[in-house]
Amino acid sequence: MPDLDAPFAALADPTRRAILARLAMGEATVQDLARPFAISQPAISRHLKVLEDAGLIETRIAGTARPRRLKPDAMAQLWHWLGQYRALWEDRFQRLDTLLDSLPQPDETPAKGTAE
């Protein structure tokens, strides 16, 4: 099992999650990624470094540009790990539904003013 501490720590920050959401649409430069945020370009660069160190994104060299893009394999490892727990909880909820469906329903009391 790969070490997931760094990727999950990187995902703990909302700015980095927003950057990943943007990169899910395609690669982007630092300027493109900084545009929607009210923080400096160096701050965006620090966020990108955390994401890259966590193995979630990579930099492509294109002349003088350095666009970033998602690393799908890293995201797939996270989904795989989370998927194990999703299946566990879905099974537990299904068993709870079955149990609740098997319980007797409480008797309904007649409304006031109606004859029995």
Q: Is 61 left (phi over 0), alpha (psi -120 to 50) or beta?
A: beta
Contacts of 91 (CB under 8 A, 6+ apart): none
Q: Residue 29 above 80 pLDDT?
A: yes
Q: Residue 111 above 80 pLDDT?
A: no
Q: Residue 115 above 70 pLDDT?
A: no
Helix (H, G, I), strand (E, B) or coil at 2: coil
**β-pairing, 57-59 with 68-70?**
antiparallel
pLDDT tens digits for range 53-69: 999 999 999 888 899 99
H or E segment at 47? helix 41-53
Domains of the chain: 5-71 (1.10.10.10)
H or E segment at 22? helix 14-23
pLDDT attached to residue 47 = 96
CA 86 to the chain's CA centroid: 13
Q: Residue 74 above 70 pLDDT?
A: yes
